Structure 1
Amino acid sequence: MTGDLDRKIAVWTPDLSGVNGQNMVTRRVVKNQKEFLGTIYEYPGNTLSSIPRTLWLAARLALSVVRGQHSKVYLVCSRSSIGFLRDTLPLFTSRLGARVIVHVHGSDFPHLFERRVIGRLARWLYASCEVIVPSHHLLELLAPSDFRQLLVCENFAELRDFDYSRSKRRAGNDSIVVLWNSNIMASKGIVELVQGIKLLRCEGVAIKLILLGKAIGDAEKSTATMQAYLHELRQTVWIDVKGSVPPEDVSLLVSESDVIALPSTYSSECQPLAVIQGMLGGCALLVSDTPAMRSTVGNYPAVFVERNSGSIAHALRQIVQSRSGPAECEAASHARERFSPDRFDSCIRRTLTAGE
């Protein structure tokens, strides 16, 4: 290829050392599209001491565009007001003639344009950018005419060393295993899930819970509060708190679980990896009734709940009374195609090289 692709694509992203879904996706883009990429500008975390370095990196990126070293920018955007200000200079390169491809990773992205002061600037900057969203539900909240281009590229997932031939059908006297495979946050519904399982156990149902992830604060409860709550859960005999585990261990835990639960109302929840992995593994799904979750689940059999213990307990009763069958197996096979890493790579590659 010649032309603009001879000038590599600059990448603007948060520090990639953190363990989260956004970084997992970005690391794959950096690794598998490296033939097209130039300098990776990783800015540090959200601290006052990090501001000078972040500004310096943003200036260097903009200067590289002005000098012709980069003709494109792949930008992993922030959705907060402060984060948007951090992205402003890299976004502005679209007004200098660069092709800026923005990858969105949260359902709260549309809220950025609704803010009184920053929203106007955001609309002006994003109007000359191409925007990738991971979920079709966001298309209903965004106007394609507000961007140079708006397209969907769904996320990917895989279960390493997973035996897909293994049946998920349970014997009638087996305990039901519920897996929580996300960070321990109040807005994700962990408290209500535990209460819902307690209700079933009081009815004599053999059911246990495995918890993955670490305690993180949000708008509802602080990190310290969630850490204390997690400490309490460690004392409960039917709850196995494992914390953060490597990917190969997640595959094994999914294979040993009956239900993947995520009754989340977290505002940024978009296309959670935990739910996708549950679909790949043919597990029963218990998820919140939100546009993001419905878009992620698609045609996969799932039970949608409100974020309260009664709704969750009712859903679990339905799951306990059911047995996995051909419908789940067929849906799991479709999910493995839909969320294939190769499909994701192809989608990103087509976007990065479009017009060349």
Structure 2
Amino acid sequence: MAPRVLMIGTALSGKGGIAAVVSVLDQDGLFEREGVRYLATHAEGSRAGKARVALAGFWRTALACLLERPAVVHAHSASHASFFRKSLLLLIARRCGARTVFHLHGGGFRDFATSESGPVARWWIRHTLEASSVVIALSSGWAAFLAGFAPKAQVRVVPNSVDVARLASRCEEEPGRILFLGRADTPKGVYDLLAAVAALAPAFPHVRLAVGGDGDLALLRTRAAQLGVAERLEVLGWIGAQDKADQLARASVFCLPSHAEGLPMAMLEAMAVGKAVVVSRVGGIPEAVVDGDNGLLVPPRDVQALAAALSRLMSDEVLRRRLGERARQTVAERFSTAVVIGKLSAVYRELCARGAR
């Protein structure tokens, strides 16, 4: 049976935010409810493996648009190669009569669309946004940027969602344990966090940092040794769903001091299970986290401010518990899968009705 909605993005078995976002939508019923068929146009692996998946995904998506004629084609996209793959597929979809949804993920899109792209690429980015039936942004701040960059774009805000039930764990919280989930590289702020842990160590002998994610883990260990905190670092590597739930339960504080972000899933998951979070004031984060109410915000690249915020939480259990409880309430009210699936369903209904006229 031809799909009502054809959705394209990275393989759901892979790593990263898009896979996590779409997996939650699938598991909580969006695909069945709205007649969604999902095709992967990207997967983790070697360069040759990625190329094979990209070519196969491109071909399968193009054929589906030509032969099955879905009403809506919904593309999850980040920057660079991800954007160019999806933009060409959305062009094909429009030529086949489909309404198109460009769903933006990733904190680097602003730089990609402005300083990193030349005149021709900027024109194509703007054209893709404005030609799409709907552009989905993860936050009001990102929506404002997209509306300014592409004034004719029809921008809607639909945040990422969290399935709290799948984060259940029997593990107990461990005092002084700081958890970082994400790619272990400079843009995610993990080296700033290592430096902050080194600054905290004299006053907090029990402080530990657990890092879950891929990246150059050997370099991470080397940097920790140089800072004198090698014994305080636990490198988890990439972790699966249950391991992630357990690590969140064991954490005393969650920290993601990114230099740029969209609306990070790991942060929302930590908030969903009632953890106090220390995160950077970048991207869509300040629209989810209010400093001093449901978490603590710090400037990006500011090790001193990061260390001070972590010290504040580690010294004050009452504050930590209060922020964690407010974080849990925030996710339940604004980022539950029921809320987000309702928003996406409304977009699909509107586009299908518009296409029928």
Tell me the TM-score normalised to structure 1 length.
0.80
Q: Which residue of 1 aligns with 2:211?
A: 211
- 1:11-67 Cα offsets, whole Å, 9 max, x none, are 222333312221122234455333444654322458467657745643553454345
Instruction: Tell me if 1:89 matches 2:88.
Output: yes
1:124-182, CA deviations, whole angstroms, 9 ceiling, x for partnerless residues? Answer: 23312111112222012121874552111111123436379x998xxxxx842211122
Q: Does the C-alpha gap of structure 1 residues 343 and 41 become closer, same or farther in structure 2, counting only changes over 3 Å?
A: same
Change (3 A) 1:254 1:52: closer
Structure with the bigger percentage of helix: 2
The CA distance in 2 between the partners of 1:84 and 1:203, in whole Å, is 46
Supply the distance in 2 between the matched residues of 1:301 and 1:161 (Cα, whole angstroms). Answer: 19
Residues of 2 paired with 1:248 and 1:57: CA distance? 29
Question: Is 2:6–2:38's contact at 8 Å kept on the other side of the alignment?
Answer: yes
Q: In 1, distance between residues paired with 2:245 and 2:55? A: 40
Partner residue in 2 for 1:176 = 176
Residues 132 and 153 in structure 1, CA contact (< 8 A), matched pair in contact too: yes
Task: Give the one of 115, 119, 122 matched to 1:119.
Answer: 122
Cα RMSD (Å): 3.3
SS in 1 for 2:307: helix
* Structure 2 unmatched ranges of 5 or more: none
- Distance in 2, Cα, partners of 1:244 & 1:6: 36
- Give the corresponding residue for 2:162: 157
Equivalence for 2:245? 251
Identity %: 20
Q: Which has the larger radius of gyration?
A: 1
In structure 2, give the amino acid aligned to 1:133: A
CA separation in 2, counterparts of 1:29 and 1:212?
Answer: 23
Q: Structure 2 CA distance, aligned partners of 1:238 and 1:338?
A: 35
Deviations 1:45-97 (A, max 9, x none): 584676577456435534543456323211122421x3333223322132553
Summarize the Cα distance change of 1:229–1:108 in structure 2 as closer, same or farther, 3 Å threshold. closer
1:109/1:212 CA distance change after superposition, 3 Å? same
Distance in 1 between residues matched to 2:172 and 2:270, nearest whole Å: 14
Match of 2:278 in 1: 286
1:42 is aligned, of 40, 43, 49, to 40
Return closer, same or farther for 1:120/1:177 CA change in 2, 3 Å cut-off.
Answer: same
| Mapping for residues 8-157 of structure 1, pairs under 5 Å | 8-30=4-26, 32-35=29-32, 36-37=34-35, 39-45=37-43, 47=47, 51=51, 54-55=54-55, 57-67=57-67, 69-80=69-80, 82-92=81-91, 93-114=93-114, 115=117, 116-129=119-132, 130-143=134-147, 146-147=151-152, 149-157=154-162
CA contact (8 A) 2:178 2:208 kept: yes
Aligned to 1:141, the other structure's residue is in SS state helix
Change (3 A) 1:20 1:308: same
**Greater alpha carbon shift after TM alignment, 292-301 vs 114-123:** 292-301
Task: Kindly state the Cα deviation for residue 192 of structure 1 after the two structures are TM-superposed.
Answer: 1.9
Counterparts of 2:263 and 2:68 in 1: how far apart (Å)? 36
Counterpart-to-counterpart distance in 1, 2:143 and 2:15: 28
Match of 1:220 in 2: none
Question: Aligned AA for 2:301?
Answer: R
Q: Alpha-carbon deviations, 1:283-322, whole Å to 9, x = none?
A: 2221122243212324523242442432222222222332
SS at match of 1:316: helix
| Cα distance in 2 for residues equivalent to 1:314 and 1:75 | 40
Cα gap change, 1:196 to 1:128, in 2 (>3 Å): same
TM-score, normalised by the number of residues in structure 2: 0.80
Query: Which of 309, 318, 321 in structure 2 is aligned with 1:315?
Result: 309
Give CA-to-partner distance per residue, 1:224-277, whole Å, 9 cap, x none: xx4333367598332222223332232233233221111111x4x211122112
Residues of 1 paired with 2:223 and 2:323: CA distance? 38
State the partner residue of 1:171.
Answer: none
Q: Which residue of 1 aligns with 2:219?
A: 228
Q: In the alignment, residue 140 of structure 1 is paired with which amino acid?
A: A
Q: Are residues 261 and 124 of structure 1, via their aligned partners in 2, closer, same or farther at CA, if it must alter by over 3 Å? A: same
- In structure 1, what is the Cα distance between the partners aligned to 2:48 and 2:245? 39
Provide the rounded CA distance (Å) in 2 between the counterparts of 1:161 and 1:84: 31
5+ residue gaps, structure 1, are 169-173, 217-222
Distance 1:209 1:6 in 2: 49
8 A Cα contact 2:169 2:246, kept in partner: no
Counterpart Cα distance in 2 of 1:56 and 1:78: 19
